[in-house]
Structure 1
Amino acid sequence: MYFSSRENKLLKLLLENKNGIFAQDLQEILQISKRTLYREISSIEETIQPQNAQIINDRKTGYRLIGAKETLNAINQEIQENQEDVFDNVQRQSALVSSLLLADEEVIVESLAIDFSVSPTTIHHDLQQVERSLAEYGLSLKRKKARGIIVEGPEEKRRQILSNIIYSDVNEYEFFTYLAGLSGPDEKKQPANFFLRFITPRWFYFAKQAVLEKTNRLFIEVTDNQLQQVITSLALSLERISNDHFVVEENANVGISPSVKGLAQQIMSEIKKQTDLKITDSEILFFSRQLEGVNYKRPQNIFFDNFDAEISYQIRELIRLVSEQMHSDFRKDDTLFYDLLTHLSAAFKRIDNQAQLSGNPLLEKILTEYPKLTEVIKQNLKQIFTDHQAFLQDELAYVVIHFAASLERNPVRKELSALVLCSSGIGTAKILESRINKYIPEIEHIEVAKISQMGHIDFKEFDIILSTIYLPDFSLPYKVISPLLLDDEIHEIKQELKEKQFGNKPVAAKDTVQNTQNDFEQVYEQMKVANELLTQFSVKSVPTQQTLAKTLDIILEELEGVIIEDRKKVGELIINRHKLAPIGIPNTHFALFHSANTYVKKPYFAIFDLTRSVPILGMDKKPMELTRLLLMLAPADMTETQERLLGKISASVIESDVDIQTYQCGDEEAIYKRISSLFIAEIKESEEE
């Protein structure tokens, strides 16, 4: 059995008044309304009914708790063991907000004071802070004379704030442990965490089943904390729907991708099969908006209709600026780009759809551990993402984490220092120092010392210790070398320094016999596709027509029958994709036009110089003059190899200032060499995987 704080107080009064206590007395003592009293009694009866106990209301004596002596003793023991929740100021205000958002009628201040074991003065002080916070989200706190206080405002705002509070005050382990214990829809198990009690276990169970069991494959790449957010939001919606509180979506499908809406419909369909809830289209749209903020790690491909060219460019800009200001080239890390693209695409939806969460101590620690990186990222986020100035502290921390992870994957080259212990004269020491400088440039700093000086040296300052003589009983690692530094010694020192310089870990050997055939086939396929793309590549001039569509038609006419089947269909699809989102590269005169469709026979990439400029929009939504058209085509069912190699080209278009300059001004030979180098790097990388 589990009883809430108020239920504990009510049961205690019933146990103390064995002969009965009237409703009016209970209301005055607990500072609650008649309606609230009835609701609390109904909740208690539901819990104690399986124990053969009940609450009766006698007109002459009032309410009484009756049942077997053993049952009453068990209830009394439960009350004694159930200690009241202890909150700090922030938690109490969160709990207070939650209680008010869920209340269907006015709540008396004195009643809240009793619930949270504080004075009415403290509650009044909390309400001032609560009122300001609610106002930021379009909700108001109304005080009704002689009746109490109540929150007024849109249902969707209530849910957003409630789900964020519940999520932020429950850690992942506690949350999923509780879910694991819910074995069925009629489970009566109540959680120990106060904030989880706002949602009936029944709705948590159905939310868990729909998300984790029925659609597991769809969420397989989603992190635990985001799964927690989705399940909490869904369970809260089910709770509110069951109590006849519905959202009203005015801007129907605005900003919702078809794939996410389909996922929301699938999940809600699972709920409908098992419950009698009235789930409206507005409820599905509301849940879709919550799902928009989830990182599904969907593949990012310029050929996809939902690929956001603008944010792709903005992230490249963010990486470029952070690289320049941190003096560390993050642009070489493809993983960083795709992780940021996935994260920020979802983050902006979260910022638009969620209330501000209380600070996460772990994330705050990240910000303090990387102060310079944090400040650089913070300033550049504001400069680049001007439409999203209200960047949440937690989201900033996650962006910092992605860059910090990149540093771990690709550590900055460390300046190495060497201590050379030399027992010979100064002439020999100088020769040795000169040879180290010449043949081991990895060592930036060399200090030569005599054996007699060893007692005054801080050996921890050096990455490697070299000595021209054997050092008996010397406890630290060192290497004995010849005063003339022989070739084999140079090689050995270089090998030892490599791991110190970059922190490289030894790579496990592959199962050569087992993978030889697969590796060969994979490399052959890549080389075949790469060769076809390079053979077809060219930079040509094309006469500009009255419209961009007509100019494109001239280009496609040459490809018909070889690369494409129907130039009219392909042209329409390319122009429609161009209208869907800007594709011009900012501060240049070129754009990457692309399409993957059933009318394309094989992958193709080429460049066309226009005889006259054409006005288009850049990825930054600013007007620009197009003079060079990059065209990339692919079959609708392209292979993984084709997708990877074309992806390398499209990514390189905005990878760096050098690449941008190459694509804008380079001739056929220069661009051919650049694409060749990309393909070679990709093939080598796949061999190492």
Structure 2
Amino acid sequence: MLVDNNLLNYHLVQFIKNRKSVHYGDIENHFDISRKTILKHLDEIEILAKECDVDLVRKPNVGIYFQGNVDDLLTQLNQQQRKGLIPENKQERVRYITTRLLMSNNPFTIQSMAEELFVSRTTLESDIKNVRKYLEEQNIKIYSNQQGIYLKVDESSRRKNISKLLQDFWNQTTYVEKRGEKLSRHIQLNGDFYQLFNYQDITQVIKCVNEFEDASKLILTDYEYESLIIHLTIALQRIRNNKFLNNNQESNAALEKNTILLINKIEKTFQINIPVLEKQYLNIHVLAIEGKEIGEQGFNDDFENFLKEHLTKSLSYDKELISGLILHLRPALSRSNYGLGIRNPYTKQIKKVYPEAFEQAMQLCLAIRDKYSIELNEDETAYVALHIQSFIERRSAKGQIQAVIVCSTGLGTSRFLEQQLKTKVTHHIEVISVMSVSEFLKSNINVDIIISTIPIKNTSIPVILVSPFLTNQDIETLDLNISVIEKKKIQSRDFLDLIDTNLISFVETKCTRKGALKIITDRLKDEKYASAGVLKSAEKRESISTTSFGSIATPHCDPRYVLTPNISILIALMELNGERKKLK
């Protein structure tokens, strides 16, 4: 574990002092650090000890110990390590104050916190405004009385928000280092972490998780590794302070074998008894790591059909996309249902580089929310977008023509026609779905062609009428039409074709983001490109996940409000977060 040198030196001295005499193996096991790291820190301690008239003795087969009074050395190291842990800027102070409020059940004064952080009261009051704003977004209010400021929030909500904040404390997340003959995973932490939690506890929790991963044979992702360590670190401190989770969820579910393994390891290491509900929350983490569903949300029975139905209407799919989405979404839905939202460090990049895939992912996540009453956050949505982008690229690389078959004479005939297409048509056709007439009428499909055994008129998608037995004439017609479609795909200038120069606007006066949307949507309605409701739809879309990147935004609405596809451009001087920027 990588930490501040002064912090580790302080705890090493404390460890040697308390044990009287130690060996390298004792230090390796307790701090989970390599022999090379130990030697480096002991060399540093030896130099500092001499300045305090203390000798650090290292004798083979005897041990490592001090000669002299180490109290002055500990005082000096403590001052140095505390100085290195003080938040250095406004962002760090806001995060620290917020976490302190969540961790504490007792009020503290603004003056005492200002002195603790070595800033003026005025500076701290400004920081508190940012803290208040952040907490209000989490539906948490700051209260005050004569003793100071404090929060009224239940234990479960406290822990959830502490965990969310602590995610920011990981620096470069994890790293791999060889310890003896073995490669193992370790972490690098920012100093803020040690202001809030006991250093020895963190060290032992990390060691327990590493041993648990080895013993259980589970493979933890970096996110799972970090989340489990953060959860255990918070839980350990709260349990010791007699702050337990509220018994507001079912706690009779059978524990996984791996959960019992982890519980036994934690209880033995820290000499505590973990309450029943705490064990259930650990079980949720283990179930998520194992990739199993948590609870009885009913994802098994119809989830695959739900995905296929949604994707047929909006994008289409292949087996690889469905398989990938199921593997990701089932544990994701379980995580989200129990407040274990994932962190995605690439969300902003995914939104910027793959806007189409992100939009499709967001629409899928909204459909999931409507059906299962579980909301996936923006980070989860971005991971879904990567699955969709992979599908888009596979489809593009293959040059497949995507089709649906509409047949009125039964499923057997439809499947026979599908097989005929595979064996007789020279072009590669991917049949996305086989539909009856009634199913087709209820669907909003998005494919290249419709192959039908009955006439279908007035559709925006080309319809090719064929016999269920696919005659030679049918095959020639199909090959000819598909060649035309493929040529159009290659020569497509869809984006430029959608831009109407009459809908390029310049607004010289300052306006708000909402004002810019109103200007665009009013113009679209006037020109008969969009219907009433387009503004509210665009605002709703922006509220879910902003489409802005720096000085550019790409707002859009639900397709129901689009009369004719079009791209409207507005360039305006806008007020964004208190700054004047040109927005396109």
TM-score relative to the length of structure 2: 0.49
TM-score relative to the length of structure 1: 0.43
Bigger-Rg structure (1/2): 1
